[in-house]
């Protein structure tokens, strides 16, 4: 069987303690919550931290607080199942519920956390392989090697942002709290990500994800559509997150984000702009889909062929917006 | 025995008896090979080639050998004797000797005190390679005869070429009203058993070797170990552990089994190896990718006057069962619908990929896919309903086919009727709204190969019974349960004959020291062959008991009946002994009660070269109707329901039969819709996705409703009339899916898997088709010509072999 490399494990009870250990150990250390992404990666020698800091004992990193009117605070070490079962999330942030519900399998959602999904390592068919396989291709840019085998001319790693929650949190305008020994800072979810498959997070290695805040849900409707081979187990090869705020029948604000088509979530700005000030009709939806899909530039490093994946973007943007529907449509799409 | 064709009079056979090994599996106490832990046990890891085709220049094990905790390091020269499952393909070495043939081919092995040390030592081994040009496809292997992957084989990188002709196909095409031709491709796929292969070897102080392994074929592993280790077989004991799924992937003797045996002999301590999932993808022996061309001449009403079938198999790096697989791609086309004249050309290439071999359906799902889609097209062109076309032209029971396969019971008509009626076919076919489709396909499969893998005239299976004074019965048989339920079938058959409770029976299985040889759990042979041997052994025991009891009761032996744990006078059942007392009486009369039974298949009618593949004591039949939705905007296919009728001859256990049908449907849908064992030719020949996550196989979420119709057309050669069910029901799934896709959106997908991308491409194409354009140019050998039975043939080849060229 595949074995974990050796590491030291710390289980601090407070966030301050965890930040202090992380600071002290330097870049050889990593934090772990559910471990559903990190441990398999360690078995494949993608990451071989000398020290792991477990976050499971830190109560302050768990739970859901707030209300739809004030907005929600979500502890990053909250397991995905608990969020899936939260009526607050399900009724008022349906797009987030759908994204979480679509992650992996029920069993892994019992272990995996939302913080883990937000920070999910980028994925690539040339990277998510074991050590011996990667040695056969002389390794790749993302780990132990120099070349990007997806596009050997590329000087940037093209591994795919495969988080289901990332695009919907960007679309909701969620804010992310980062805590380190040096202090706390809060950034927009969209500013957490970087279009670089290796350095895909702007989070510093001494920082711990400490909280996620969602803005008030009033008048926002949302949806998340995911393309994958199977209805369980699979990472997205495309995720479409849509959040729309209505003023009567008219779209006051629209946010459309594409996941799993690049190294970071991609904002479909032109499509958003095309919706604002108009009704959500088949025509406006079609136009938004037409404007959004050229942004998807899939490369050959996930399941399915890239041309088809690009074509599906148009289709899935349409579906996501249809699902959001105009206000009053009986879809349970939020407020 | 007094059993009607409807099964009346049976007490245990035909009942949904709980699996005799079910509770221990559910409770987690079954010992699989990886569960075995022995004192002082060491752990083995294999160092595998990172290149697809290369000469080994140098293997440096010095660093690994010096590491603390490393007990031994082996390389190819430590195990120089070749092996292989088929006598004609002894082309494997436990560790590569002079060259490597695919990424993952093992080059060296280490044994160390723990797995971590073994892992580090494996990675400390350094190998220098001289790269060779790699063959990554059928076309490439045919086009490039050098460098040769093997120094043997028919020519260049073509391992085997076959040409057989039964009757005269040119005459048949001439006599036909219409001739149709199609080209198909069936992608390779792997077995994906939940349990990875594992083996443990240990040596007794007196030098006897024991190997526990997750193998479907302990007898063949025994033979390979004796050969490669150069040890008397009597000093080697192979114990097959219950398999956590096999599907054909554990039917070869494997390098890792030989390696742990050698390491254990060298070091004197037990050695275990458990493969990673990636390594299971490298063991493979799965479905051959096959390119096929089929040309058929038919009359206006659909009778097949002639068929010419060509197949091109991508064999991977070694022979494995490949020669048999190649013959199988041409053997069973004839057992469903009469083919008046039949010609088969088949070849298998060596390529630089993990070796292909037998996966559930061994060599027949691919040609069956081609044939059943081809027939769907023919039916449409002739304006005949596809179900009616098939029903109108069925091979009669108790008949000989063009290639001399002897068909016994033949329940395909009942199968077709069941799925047609059950699915509402007549109301739905070509009448559903766009995007909804329904498709039908049929198939047949062998119930055990008529010939053993190595030539011998001994039985294919043996069963021993030992009767205890307490009424217990121990049954010894070399069979191995791979999840299909063979232990339960064995218990039911013996319980039926002796009139006892199957749970009073102890099964001792798969142990070359303790059990008589059974050739293994492959070719759907176990129920038929083991079942017949078990009946024979049990009837011999019953005879002894009947004699003793008749003397005790003072009645003629013919009046002694067995049932409900009693041995009684059939004319006055109150005059009875308990089964235990009957054993006591018999033991007092005859001494220790032990009996044996064995089974050898009937001789084949086919006597030509190449006729070893195809003949079987019986043939099972299946018909499937698939109902599905296709989204024309995305190409997405969702299967709603599968109706599957299977002629199992006699159903020994309905729960097991339904389980095998549903499992076959599941595996068939995986092959039809998503599974692909594929490689990156432009990236050093690596496997694209050797992991359970990225090798896409359906989950329960993709599994549709399956409606199973058990059809019983008892076969005189089957135990109680029983035929196979483990493999046959997989065969019609892929063609039924493809035929249903055509019904839904009007495109022909002439290759599997049927992906959404292919459907969209077909919808966009002028021909409304996606599939291979043609087949490579090949100079076929002159065919072996065999006159058909209706030409007065005898099953032997005609003396003359007309040149292929002259007949064009």
CATH architecture of the region B33-132+191-283:
Alpha-Beta Complex (3.90)
Q: How far is CA B715 from CA B89, B709, B722, in A?
A: 34, 18, 6
Beta strands in A111-188 (DSSP E): 175-180, 183-188
For residue A328, the model assigns a pLDDT of 75
Instruction: Using alpha carbons, select from A236, A152, A144, A266 the residue that is nearest to residue A198.
Output: A144
For residue B440, the model assigns a pLDDT of 98
Look at residue B222 and tell me whether its pLDDT is greater than 70. Answer: yes
**pLDDT category of residue B416 using cuts at 50, 70 and 90:** very high
* CA distance linking residue B537 with residue A105, whole number of Å: 49
Q: If you count them, how many residues does chain A have?
A: 335
Span B597-618, average pLDDT? 96
What's this model's pTM, rounded to 2 decimal places? 0.97
Q: How far is CA A236 from CA A37, A103, A243, A256, in A?
A: 15, 9, 19, 16
What's the pLDDT tens digit per position in B55-113? 999 999 999 999 999 999 999 999 999 999 999 999 999 999 999 999 999 999 999 99
Domain B22-30+459-599, CATH number (from 1.20.140.10, 3.40.50.1820, 3.30.365.10, 3.40.50.620): 3.30.365.10
Based on the number of CB atoms within 10 Å of its own CB, is A3 exposed (0-12), middle (13-18) or buried (19 or more)?
A: middle
**pLDDT category of residue B604 using cuts at 50, 70 and 90:** very high
Instruction: Using alpha carbons, select from A234, A229, A262 the residue that is nearest to residue A154.
Output: A262
Q: What is the DSSP string of B598-621?
A: EE-PPPPS--STTTTSS--S-EEE
Under an 8 A CB cutoff, do A125 and B115 touch?
A: no
CA A231 to chain B, closest CA, distance in angstroms equals 6
B32 near B741, Cβ under 8 Å? no
* CA distance linking residue B77 with residue B107, whole number of Å: 10
For residue B427, the model assigns a pLDDT of 98
Does A137 lie at the interface with B, CB-CB under 8 angstroms? yes
Q: How crowded is residue B8: how many other Cβ atoms within 10 Å of its Cβ?
A: 9
DSSP H or E segment with residue B324: helix B322-331
* CA distance linking residue B260 with residue B275, whole number of Å: 12
For residue A332, the model assigns a pLDDT of 58
B324's torsion region: left (phi>0), alpha (psi -120 to 50) or beta? alpha
For residue B3, the model assigns a pLDDT of 52
Residue B717 tokens read as: 């050669």
CA A130 to chain B, closest CA, distance in angstroms equals 8
Domain B33-132+191-283 and domain B162-190+285-450+607-770, same fold? Reply is: no
Span B236-260, average pLDDT? 98
Look at residue B711 and tell me whether its pLDDT is greater than 60. Answer: yes
Interface test with A, best of B53, B278, B758 (most A CBs within 10 A): B278
Q: Which residue of B has its CA nearest to A303?
A: B694
The CATH class that applies to domain B162-190+285-450+607-770 reads alpha beta
Look at residue B1 and tell me whether its pLDDT is greater than 50. Answer: no
Span B542-570, average pLDDT? 97
**pLDDT category of residue B803 using cuts at 50, 70 and 90:** low
Under an 8 A CB cutoff, do B274 and A1 touch?
A: yes
Share of chain B above pLDDT 70, in %: 98
Q: How does the average pLDDT of chain B come out, rounded?
A: 97
Under an 8 A CB cutoff, do B699 and A135 touch?
A: no
Does B704 lie at the interface with A, CB-CB under 8 angstroms? no
B798 near B788, Cβ under 8 Å? no
**pLDDT category of residue B800 using cuts at 50, 70 and 90:** low
**Low pLDDT (below 50) residues in chain A:** none
* CA distance linking residue B531 with residue B539, whole number of Å: 12
* CA distance linking residue A141 with residue A126, whole number of Å: 10
For residue B5, the model assigns a pLDDT of 60
Under an 8 A CB cutoff, do B691 and A229 touch?
A: no
For residue B2, the model assigns a pLDDT of 44
Does A330 lie at the interface with B, CB-CB under 8 angstroms? no
Q: If you count them, how many residues does chain B have?
A: 808
What's the pLDDT tens digit per position in B165-178? 999 999 999 999 99
* CA distance linking residue B234 with residue B60, whole number of Å: 36
Contacts (Cβ under 8 Å, ≥6 apart) of A317: A240, A242, A256, A258, A268, A271, A288, A289, A292, A293
Residues of B in contact with A133 (CB under 8 A): 278, 686-687, 690
* CA distance linking residue B140 with residue B134, whole number of Å: 9
* CA distance linking residue A320 with residue A57, whole number of Å: 38
What's the pLDDT tens digit per position in B748-772? 999 999 999 999 999 999 999 999 9
For residue B807, the model assigns a pLDDT of 45
B493 near B13, Cβ under 8 Å? yes
Span B735-760, average pLDDT? 98
Q: How far is CA B55 from CA A138, B52, B285, B350, B483, in A?
A: 19, 10, 23, 16, 40
Look at residue B4 and tell me whether its pLDDT is greater than 90. Answer: no
What's the pLDDT tens digit per position in B342-354? 999 999 999 999 9
Under an 8 A CB cutoff, do B116 and A233 touch?
A: no
B145 near B71, Cβ under 8 Å? no
* ipTM score: 0.95
Q: What does the domain layout of chain B look like in residue ranges? A: 22-30+459-599, 33-132+191-283, 162-190+285-450+607-770
Residue B279 tokens read as: 């390594």
Residues of A in contact with B115 (CB under 8 A): 1, 3
Share of chain B above pLDDT 90, in %: 98
Look at residue B184 and tell me whether its pLDDT is greater than 80. Answer: yes
For residue B801, the model assigns a pLDDT of 54
B796 near B786, Cβ under 8 Å? yes
């Amino acid at each position: 069987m595949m074995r974990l490399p050796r590491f030291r494990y710390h289980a601090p009870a407070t966030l301050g303690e965890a930040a202090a250990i992380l600071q002290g150990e330097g870049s050889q250390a990593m934090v772990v919550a559910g471990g559903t992404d990190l441990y398999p990666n360690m078995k494949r020698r993608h990451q071989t931290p000398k020290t792991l800091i477990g976050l499971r004992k830190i109560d302050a990193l768990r739970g859901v607080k707030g209300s739809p009117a004030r907005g929600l605070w979500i502890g990053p070490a909250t397991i995905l199942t608990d969020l899936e079962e939260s009526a607050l999330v399900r009724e008022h942030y349906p797009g987030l519920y759908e994204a979480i519900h679509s992650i992996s399998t029920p069993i892994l959602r019992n272990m995996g956390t939302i913080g883990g999904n937000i920070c999910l390592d980028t994925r690539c068919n040339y990277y998510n392989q074991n050590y011996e396989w990667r040695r056969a291709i002389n390794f790749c840019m993302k780990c132990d090697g120099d070349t990007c085998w997806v596009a050997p001319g590329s000087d940037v790693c093209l591994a795919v942002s495969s988080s289901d929650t990332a695009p919907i949190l960007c679309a909701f305008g969620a804010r992310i709290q980062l805590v380190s020994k040096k202090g706390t800072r809060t950034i927009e979810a969209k500013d957490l990500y970087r279009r670089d498959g290796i350095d895909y997070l702007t989070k510093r290695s001494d920082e711990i994800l400490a909280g996620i805040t969602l803005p008030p849900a009033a008048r926002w409707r949302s949806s998340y559509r995911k393309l994958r081979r199977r209805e369980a187990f699979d990472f997205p090869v495309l995720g479409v997150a849509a959040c729309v705020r209505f003023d009567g029948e008219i779209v006051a604000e629209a946010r459309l984000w594409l996941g799993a088509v690049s190294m970071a979530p991609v904002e479909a700005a032109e499509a958003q702009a095309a919706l604002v000030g108009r009704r959500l009709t088949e025509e406006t939806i079609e136009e938004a889909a037409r404007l959004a899909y050229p942004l998807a530039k899939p490369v050959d490093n996930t399941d399915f062929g890239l041309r088809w994946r690009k074509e599906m973007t148009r289709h899935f943007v349409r579906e996501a917006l249809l699902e959001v529907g105009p206000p009053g449509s009986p879809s349970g799409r939020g407020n | 025995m007094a059993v009607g064709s409807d099964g009346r009079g049976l007490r245990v056979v035909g009942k949904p008896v709980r699996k005799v090994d079910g509770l221990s599996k559910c409770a987690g106490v079954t010992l699989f090979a990886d569960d075995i832990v022995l004192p002082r046990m060491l752990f083995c890891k294999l160092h595998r080639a990172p290149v697809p085709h290369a000469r080994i220049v140098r293997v440096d094990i010095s660093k690994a050998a010096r590491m603390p905790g490393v007990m031994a390091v082996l390389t190819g020269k430590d195990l120089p004797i070749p092996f292989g499952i088929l006598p004609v393909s002894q082309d494997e070495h436990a560790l590569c000797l002079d060259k490597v043939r695919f990424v993952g081919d093992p080059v060296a092995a280490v044994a160390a005190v723990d797995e971590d040390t073994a892992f580090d030592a494996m990675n400390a081994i350094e190998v220098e390679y001289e790269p060779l040009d790699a063959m990554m496809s059928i076309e490439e292997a045919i086009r490039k005869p050098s460098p040769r992957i093997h120094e043997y084989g028919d020519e260049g990188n073509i391992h085997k070429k076959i040409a057989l002709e039964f009757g005269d196909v040119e005459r048949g095409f001439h006599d036909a009203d219409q001739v149709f031709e199609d080209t198909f491709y069936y992608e390779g796929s792997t077995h994906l058993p939940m349990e990875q292969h594992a083996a443990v070897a240990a040596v007794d102080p007196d030098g006897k070797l024991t190997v526990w392994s997750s193998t479907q074929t302990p007898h063949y592993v025994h033979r390979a170990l004796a050969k490669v280790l150069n040890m008397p077989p009597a000093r080697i004991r192979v114990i097959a552990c219950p398999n956590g799924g096999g599907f054909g992937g554990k039917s070869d003797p494997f390098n890792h089994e030989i390696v742990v045996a050698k390491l254990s002999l060298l070091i004197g301590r037990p050695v275990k190896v458990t493969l990673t999932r990636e390594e299971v993808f490298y063991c493979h022996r799965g479905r051959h990718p096959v390119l096929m061309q089929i040309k058929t001449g038919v009359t206006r009403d659909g009778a097949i006057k002639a068929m010419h079938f060509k197949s091109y198999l991508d064999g991977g790096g070694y022979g494995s069962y490949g020669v048999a697989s190649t013959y199988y791609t041409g053997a069973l086309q004839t057992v469903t619908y009469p083919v008046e004249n039949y010609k088969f050309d088949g070849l298998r290439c060596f390529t630089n990929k993990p070796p292909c071999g037998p996966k559930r359906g061994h060599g027949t799902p691919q040609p069956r896919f081609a044939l059943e889609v081809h027939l769907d097209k023919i039916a449409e062109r002739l304006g005949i309903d596809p179900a009616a076309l098939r029903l109108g032209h069925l091979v009669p029971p108790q008949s000989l086919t063009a290639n001399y396969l002897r068909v016994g019971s033949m329940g395909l008509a009942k199968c077709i009727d069941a799925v047609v009626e059950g699915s509402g076919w007549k109301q739905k076919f070509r009448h559903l709204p766009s995007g909804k489709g329904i498709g039908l396909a049929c198939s047949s499969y062998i119930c055990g190969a008529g010939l053993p893998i190595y030539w011998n005239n001994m039985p294919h299976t043996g069963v021993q019974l030992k009767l205890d004074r307490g009424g217990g019965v121990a049954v010894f048989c070399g069979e191995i349960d791979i999840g299909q339920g063979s232990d339960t079938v064995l218990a039911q058959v013996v319980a039926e004959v002796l009139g006892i409770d199957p749970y009073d029976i102890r099964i001792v299985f798969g142990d070359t020291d303790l059990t008589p040889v059974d050739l293994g759990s492959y070719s759907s042979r176990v129920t038929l062959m083991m079942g017949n041997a078990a009946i024979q052994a049990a009837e011999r025991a019953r005879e002894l008991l009947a004699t003793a009891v008749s003397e005790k009761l003072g009645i003629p032996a013919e009046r002694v009946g067995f049932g409900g744990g009693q041995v009684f006078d059939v004319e006055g059942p109150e005059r009875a002994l308990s089964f235990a007392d009957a054993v006591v009486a018999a033991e007092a009369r005859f001494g220790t009660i032990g009996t044996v039974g064995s089974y050898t298949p009937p001789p084949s009618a086919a006597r030509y070269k190449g006729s070893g593949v195809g003949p079987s004591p019986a043939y099972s039949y299946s018909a499937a109707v698939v109902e599905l939705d296709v989204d024309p905007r995305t190409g997405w296919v969702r299967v709603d329901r599968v109706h599957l009728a299977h002629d199992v001859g006699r159903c020994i256990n309905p729960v097991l039969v339904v389980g095998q049908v549903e499992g076959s449907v599941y595996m068939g849908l995986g092959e039809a819709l998503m599974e692909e064992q594929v490689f990156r030719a432009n990236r050093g020949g690596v496997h694209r996705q050797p992991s359970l996550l990225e090798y896409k196989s359906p989950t329960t979420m993709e599994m549709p409703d399956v409606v199973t119709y058990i059809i019983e057309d008892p076969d005189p050669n089957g135990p109680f009339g029983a035929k196979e069910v483990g493999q046959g029901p997989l065969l019609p799934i892929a063609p039924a899916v493809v035929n249903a896709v055509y019904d839904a959106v009007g495109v022909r997908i002439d290759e599997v898997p049927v992906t959404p991308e292919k459907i969209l491409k077909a919808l966009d194409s002028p021909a409304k088709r996606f599939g291979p354009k043609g087949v490579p140019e090949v100079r076929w050998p002159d065919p072996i010509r065999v006159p058909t039975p209706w030409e007065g043939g005898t099953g032997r080849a005609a003396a003359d072999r007309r040149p292929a060229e002259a007949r064009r």
